[in-house]
Amino acid sequence: MSVRFVESCQLPTPFAVFDMHGFEEVETGQEHVLLSLGDVGNGEPVLARTHSECLTGDGLFSLRCDCGFQLEQALQSIANEGRGVLMYLRQEGRGIGLLNKIRAYHLQDQGADTVEANEKLGFAADMRDYSICGPMLQHLGIDALRLMTNNPRKVKALELVGVRIVERLPLEVGRNPHNDGYLTTKASKLGHWLKSHQDDDLGV
């Protein structure tokens, strides 16, 4: 994959003042950003989150997923540590795009789970590509991560592009009655590590 670094700037947030680095996939024109805090290129493993864009959760406060909660917790954790990165990938709806995500939500309203909805639309359950992460991290001199994720496929995908994952940190936040079925499906069908879904009782 050919990746072009575009520019960096400061990004003040409620958590910390991050540096935001812009990248572009040359072949597709797809744009992605990486937020960094502190000295991340000193050779030590970096606290990190790879987060795929979710307009509904990240920007519109949807309770149908846990994305917005995970984004906020990841940024807060990085700020607390004073050092880390968040890779924000423009892969809405696990790679199917915003309008297809709305179509998938419509099918979920009719009873399909998140995996079944994607498949009924002719898509794989998860179409995201993490190849961009390698060049983004290399640009900042990072080769080892302490990764905040519940997704085993994400760990494997990053390792396949040459990123060392020295520690996986769970990121279980935002469970509520609106996303409980969604999280259960992520655990049962997508293999996500979710301790909260070892018991089906929402009150446990």
When computed from its CA atoms, the radius of gyration of the chain, rounded to whole angstroms, is: 17
- Cα–Cα distances in angstroms (integers) from residue 127 to residues 80, 95, 115, in the given order: 32, 5, 11
DSSP H helical segments within 13-130, as ranges? Answer: 67-81, 92-95, 98-109, 114-120
Instruction: Label residue 202 by pLDDT band (50, 70, 90).
Output: very low
Is 128 known to be catalytic?
yes
Which residues lie closer than 8 Å to 87 by C-beta, 6 or more apart?
Answer: 32, 33, 34, 48, 49, 50, 51, 132, 133, 136, 137
Mean pLDDT, rounded, of the chain: 91
Give the pLDDT score at 197.
Answer: 56
For the stretch 50-74, pLDDT in tens is 999 999 999 999 999 999 999 999 9
* pLDDT above 50 for 192: yes
Q: What is the CATH number of domain 3-91+128-198?
A: 3.40.50.10990
Is 58 known to be catalytic?
no
Instruction: Label residue 188 by pLDDT band (50, 70, 90).
Output: confident
* pLDDT above 50 for 24: yes
Residues of the chain with CATH 3.40.50.10990: 3-91+128-198
Question: What's the count of helices (H) and strands (E) in the chain, helices before strands?
Answer: 7, 7
d(CA 144, CA 132): 15
User: Residues 58, 66, 113, 126: which is the catalytic one?
Assistant: 126
User: Residues 49, 94, 103, 128: which is the catalytic one?
Assistant: 128
- Cα–Cα distances in angstroms (integers) from residue 59 to residues 10, 54, 67, 112, 151, in the given order: 20, 7, 10, 24, 22
Structure tokens at 31: 């744009």
